[in-house]
Amino acid sequence: MSIAVTGCAQQKEHSPVKWPEADAPIATVKPYQRIIHGDTVVDNYYWLNDYFKQGPDSGEVVKYLEAENAYTNAMMKGTEALQEKLFNEMKSRIKEKDESVPYLKNGYYYYSRTEEGEQYYKFCRKKGSLDAPEEVLLDVDAMAKGKPYFAANGFSVSPDNKLLAFGVDEVSRREYIIHIKNLETGEILPDRIMRTSGSATWAADNRTIFYTSKNPITLLSEKIKRHTLGTAEGQDVVVYDEKDNTNYIGVGKSKNGKYIFIQSQSTMSAEVRYLKADDPNGEFQVFQPRMKDVLYSVVPLEDRFLIVTNADNAQNFKVVETPLDKTGKENWKNFIPHRQDVLVQDIDEFKDFLVVSERKNGLTNLSIRQLKDNVVHDLDFGEAAYTVYPSINAEYDTDVVRYGYTSMVTPSSTFDYNMHSREKTLLKQQEVLGGYDAEKYVTERAFATATDGTKVPISLVYKKGTKKDGSAPLYLYAYGSYGSSMEPTFSSSRLSLLDRGFIYAIAHIRGGEEMGRQWYEDGKLMKKKNTFTDFIDCGQYLIDQKYTSKGHLYAEGGSAGGLLMGAVINMAPDMWNGVIAAVPFVDVVNTMLDETIPLTTNEYDEWGNPNNKDAYDYMKSYSPYENIEAKEYPNLLVTTGLHDSQVQYFEPAKWVAKLRATKKGNNVVLLKTDMDFGHGGASGRFDYLKDQALEWAFILKLEGITQ
């Protein structure tokens, strides 16, 4: 490898990447016209939608996806040994025989444990003491045997501790069947509840559960139903039917066990219904009718309700209180007032304390408030970039809050904190096998200046000794949608990049909520392009500050972050040497026009409704699929899942087909479709590492690193 001197920095020059000789698939062109708002667009690859519609081209769709997989395998030939090495080293850092920190609920300690060589886990409990005999509630390892995909979730034990409700998905469409297990006899009851979100909420009678039912076509959470044990399939009672298809709905129980809540929420408004848990056949009451642009959630205390809300222009949210028998907004009084510099994210209630999850200056914080005298204190953590969050706190009458803590150099840690004595106890830290030493790595926090002058935080981690002279390869990750904050957390698999000289960075771009609610508002709807320009500006900052250089800068994003990848390679194609777009949302206009696609109507408040011309025009101006041009694009690896219910497989498939037919130059475009899985990839705890190894090998090949 030769070295070229540029200014004061020494920058490695790449030898041209040698790819195997292989013919890329060329998708058949079948013109389809989209006409709306007087605008006619010809979509040559619309036919790739046909698999789930069972149209005339559904068989051809599968053949095309399989041809793309074969091409990707051919192009990555020669990296098999590297992929195997990466998989083995990432797997070797994971403690195979392990156990979660037990938590106490209703007289039992619950935990999960993993066995050596097994992909899944066992969900267990012990009565009264950790020295008591173990009771295996579900052996998920055994349940998943022989299945390409298996997910079990929503574990919910009845108040008398005798029954367990749980959801199972064997397709990876996030459409679960709820089963009930008798924990005394081990019998799985005949009750089978189809097409659910997976979780169930028990009423106080130990015979009634409430659950969220999904539409079989759109997979939208559509109804809340009541099931009484022994009721025949299809006979459950609808207790709530959501008429607004832009809302998500769910059902749950308060920590004190007294109330069952139904939450209906869109991006911009919410409505809560509640019912006494000991009155399962009663009528749910509206807590406060939905109000335009007002979000709220409810937590009951012994003597009042607390509400987290953005009502009355409290953009960063505040906490109000109201009597148990007067829940309307006219009775709400400030409990924790709105603050311009602090975002209230959530509250965790205890009998004598309140734990408030907050965010200030891009960092998370836990604020402890004693309810009796309103004395407040914050926890202190002392790192430049970190993440802290409440862990499982199932008990209501306790002085101890459990929380999780991690940073880009600190493995995930679980603490118990006594809110009276203010003493914290480390219960467990993720064990990284192979001798991980945090002192060998450095984490930093930097701020890039965006095009409009906004300061955008960046979290970085690298191995000590890595030169910041422009020669280091840098892997830049971001998401930037739905108000989801990308936290600076630890990853043991990331060490495989850091130990090979990479710097890893997270760009906390607008569209997330890292810097408060306005940060989200400034990266959605008609301001969505801020998300993309922020990411490009972060990349340019890292080049300017000589963390890396153009030939060594790589990017990744998934789902809505895949939209980000599609947009930035259209806007600044020469900035990135390689890009990974995982399950990317890249055909924005067509998806948002199709109300039969899961999630479309729920997302109008995020992206806009393209049936409105202004939204259509703006969306079309950035949608990656719509804006492909005859120019050189960076090397690209695109991943998807045939059964993906969040971002349908045809979006990345169409995008790749059009890119390959349009782009210039010799950079590669690879598409890897998992024919068995969906949005989250493989379900086993090791299988996903094979996908990670492929991604790392793709980037390392581009960087000229062969082992």
Task: Name all contacts of 235-243 with Cβ < 8 Å and 24+ positions apart.
Answer: 236/193, 238/213, 239/210, 239/284, 240/264, 240/273, 240/284
Known catalytic membership, residue 522: no
Amino acid identity at 64 = Y
User: For residue 64, with 0-12 CB atoms within 10 Å meaning exposed, 13-18 middle and 19 or more buried, which class applies?
Assistant: buried
Alpha helices in 101-251 (DSSP H): 140-143
| 520: DSSP letter | H
* List of residues 6+ apart from 80 with CB closer than 8 A: none
Residue owning tokens 């006219």: 330
Known catalytic membership, residue 644: yes
Known catalytic membership, residue 643: no
Are 161 and 154 in contact, with CB atoms under 8 Å apart?
Answer: no
Alpha helices in 545-649 (DSSP H): 560-571, 588-593, 604-607, 613-622
Residue 160, number of CB atoms within 10 A of its CB: 13
Cα separation, 705 vs 701, in Å, equals 6
Are 106 and 157 in contact, with CB atoms under 8 Å apart?
Answer: yes
Nearest Cα neighbor of 26 from 707, 701, 657, 459 is 657
Name the active-site residue from 496, 645, 679, 683.
679
Write out 623-635 in H/E/C secondary structure: CCCCCCCCCECCE
The terminus-to-terminus CA distance of the chain in angstroms comes to: 15
Indicate the helix (H) or strand (E) that contains 263: strand 259-265
Residue owning tokens 């349009």: 662
Name the active-site residue from 559, 623, 645, 683.
559
Nearest Cα neighbor of 413 from 403, 401, 423 is 403
Lookup: tokens for 460 = 């970085």
How do the residues of the chain divide into helix, strand and coil, expressed in percent and rounded to 5?
A: 20, 35, 45
Q: What is each CA distance from 217 to 53, 174, 633, in whole angstroms? A: 10, 13, 36
> What's the chain's length in residues?
707
Residue 94, number of CB atoms within 10 A of its CB: 18
Most distant CA pair in the chain, distance:
77
163-169, strands of its sheet edge to edge: 151-157, 163-169, 176-182, 188-202, 208-214, 221-228, 237-241
Residue owning tokens 């999630």: 599
Lookup: tokens for 304 = 């009042």
Are 298 and 274 in contact, with CB atoms under 8 Å apart?
Answer: yes
* List of residues 6+ apart from 430 with CB closer than 8 A: 411, 412, 413, 490, 492
Nearest Cα neighbor of 496 from 96, 119, 85, 95 is 85
Cα separation, 592 vs 589, in Å, equals 5
Q: What is each CA distance from 399 to 350, 423, 424, in whole angstroms? A: 8, 11, 12
Cα separation, 333 vs 322, in Å, equals 7
**Helix or strand or coil: residue 128?**
coil
Indicate the helix (H) or strand (E) that contains 476: strand 474-477
Lookup: tokens for 283 = 């009528």
CA angle 240, 153, 282 (to 5 degrees): 25
Torsion of CA 385, 391, 397, 398, to 10 degrees: -60
Name the active-site residue from 644, 645, 674, 683.
644
Which amino acids are annotated catalytic? 559, 644, 679
